[in-house]
Amino acid sequence: MPPRPSADAPRFRTGVLNFDKGAGETSFAVVNRLRRLTGARRVGHAGTLDPLATGVLPILFESATRLAEFALKLPKTYVADIHLGFVTETDDAEAEPQPVGDSSAIVSADVETALATFSGRILQQPPAYSAVKVEGKRAYALARKGEAARPAAREVEVYAASLLDFQAGPHAVARVEVRCGSGTYLRSIARDLGDRLGVGGYLGRLVRTAYGPLTLDQAVRGDELTDAESVSDRMLPAEVILPEMERVRLNVEQEAQVRQGRAVRVLPEPGPGLVRAHDSAGHLVALGHTDPLRRTFVPEKVLH
């Protein structure tokens, strides 16, 4: 294990790595591995992927970790295999499938009709084995103790859900593509789709193919990263994980003031809402809002 960097050691680059997580590895393990490889002080991820899931996992380095709450608002796209006719305790393939109904009579049109009901803002009950809290305790901890308490249903947004392929028969499998907002569980969609079809269902293979502008075909695999330089070479600017927002440009004097948390007057004056402030070279310096009375940009999160 490389030595922990000293307090006066140079910082690793601030930015985002579009990482392709493999099956069987936790998102936390990926973060730890990249922290050891790079010696970065702060490393995090945006949007956990379950161990069995693969695909795009944004890894945030140094000051970019402060942007995670904004990254979570970006839409995500998944391709999922939903197995019909069976259910599991975990709503995915980590538990033993139990037969519920015969899926032999189901055709692709049935799946498409049922899948259409998941588009829009829907109420969804998270899986029993999830990190959602029930009366102050994690749902998975209660489930492992055999307690039947399930997380309360909550509203999530599914922008689009479509059927890509369907293998009919007594072990039917529907391959679907889902584009959704934060907090949506694909395991719950698999379970609920099976319920709608009257035969039960659980999630098999799951791939996150896109996270906002980050796509799987441009993601880097772990075996391509051998040292800190190889990670740095594949890094993207921190703002790649930010939703669209107005930009303002700071001169050198304004940048110094913003880095001290002070409000500055910028021209042209930005509109209402969150605003991104960049230095003269185009690098992201801070996020903030406008004060219409004083006509200034007020920094809220400063990247150092």
**pLDDT tens-digit profile of 2-11?**
445 444 445 7
Q: pLDDT by residue (tens digit) across 86-128?
A: 999 999 999 999 999 999 999 999 999 999 999 999 999 888 7
Q: Are residues 232 and 258 in the same domain?
A: no
CATH number at residue 112: 3.30.2350.10
Instruction: Show which residues are catalytic.
Output: 50
User: Distance between CA 162 and CA 22 in Å, rounded?
Assistant: 24
**Is 176 contained in some domain?**
yes
H or E segment to which residue 46 belongs: none
Q: Are residues 203 and 297 in the same domain?
A: no
Q: Phi and psi for 60 in degrees, rounded to 5?
A: -105, 130
3-class state of residue 86 by DSSP = strand
Task: Give the range of the structural domain holding residue 263, as residue numbers without chain letter.
Answer: 245-302
Nearest by Cα to 265 from 283, 280, 277: 277
Q: Are residues 90 and 200 in the same domain?
A: yes
**Is 10 contained in some domain?**
no
What does the DSSP 8-state code read for residue 21?
E
Q: Are 130 and 151 in contact (CB under 8 A)?
A: yes
Residue type at position 84: L
Q: Are residues 202 and 98 in the same domain?
A: yes
Q: Are 164 and 176 in contact (CB under 8 A)?
A: yes
* Number of domains making up the chain: 3
- Beta strands 201-211; 214-215: pairing state: antiparallel
Q: Are residues 88 and 188 in the same domain?
A: yes
**Is 7 contained in some domain?**
no
Q: pLDDT by residue (tens digit) across 162-197?
A: 999 999 999 999 999 999 999 999 999 999 999 999
